[in-house]
Structure 1
Amino acid sequence: MLEYIIGCKWSIRILTLIRQGVDRPGAITRSIDGLTTKVQSDCLNKMVSFGILERIAYGEIPPRVEYKLTDLGQRFVAILDAVADLQQEIEAVSQQHNTSVRAD
């Protein structure tokens, strides 16, 4: 699961949008340049099958579908947040190191 989600260039962007309240497929597609509806659908379905997202279908005309993070999904994005924080720390240390090397 982790390999699929991290390896897919769209998954983290989609999860970020869903966390921000962009939970309908059409709105997600419009928010990410280059994302096709087929790839988005595959990605969303895969995350639903992993238990990261919940698909909510409303019996309306026209049909309406929304995606929400599950409890597991909330925990998963917290891990992604920790990885992003670590990346920022690494970049800050690298910049400090490069600055001190140039000063020498």
Structure 2
Amino acid sequence: MKAQEKKFSRKSPPERSARMVESIYGCKWSLTVYQLLASGINRPGEMVRQVEGLSTKVLNECLRRNMEFGILERVAFDESPPRVEYRVTPFGGKFCGCWTSWKSCSRSWSEKREFETRRPVRF
């Protein structure tokens, strides 16, 4: 018998992509920030005022991390007093779309598990 030829090699995610997902998913505030931006709240001070438990320091770390990965961009306006806003980049829009898909998948999985664990009622 001939040894079977291997057609596929093991694939691993690109290091930067894996680190990005892990870092963003590990930050409990990133999804909240995306939700705020989607609802039109894009200034850091307003974000802190809208979310209970979110401090300026933690928000700035979260925003910085998202900018490093190219998910968000910072827009500084030449005004007095200074004004800064954050926006989702085109790449960030795709990334947030992935979150939406994962959320839908998770919901489907939960519903499936709930249905499977129900016991038939016996009379």
TM tier, smaller: over 0.9
CA RMSD of aligned residues (A): 1.2
Q: Which runs of 4+ in 1 moved over 4 A?
A: none
Which amino acid counterpart does residue 98 of structure 1 have in structure 2?
T
Question: Structure 1 residue 16: deviation in Å?
Answer: 1.4
The total of aligned residue pairs comes to: 103
From 101, 110, 114, the counterpart of 1:82? 101
Q: 2:70, 2:35 → 1: CA distance?
A: 16
Higher relative helix content: 1
Report the counterpart of residue 69 of structure 1 in structure 2.
88
Q: Choose between structure 1 and 2 for higher RCO, CA contacts under 8 A separated by at least 6 residues.
A: 1
Structure 1 spans left out of the alignment, 5+ residues: none
TM-score by length of 2: 0.79
Structure 2 spans left out of the alignment, 5+ residues: 1-19
Q: Secondary structure at the match of 1:103?
A: coil
For residues 5-54 of structure 1, the C-alpha deviation after alignment (integer angstroms, 9 at most, x for no partner) is 00010111111111221111011111211111011011101111110001
Question: Structure 1 residue 103: deviation in Å?
Answer: 2.5
Q: Secondary structure at the match of 1:56?
A: strand
Matched residues, percent identical? 37
Which amino acid counterpart does residue 38 of structure 1 have in structure 2?
K
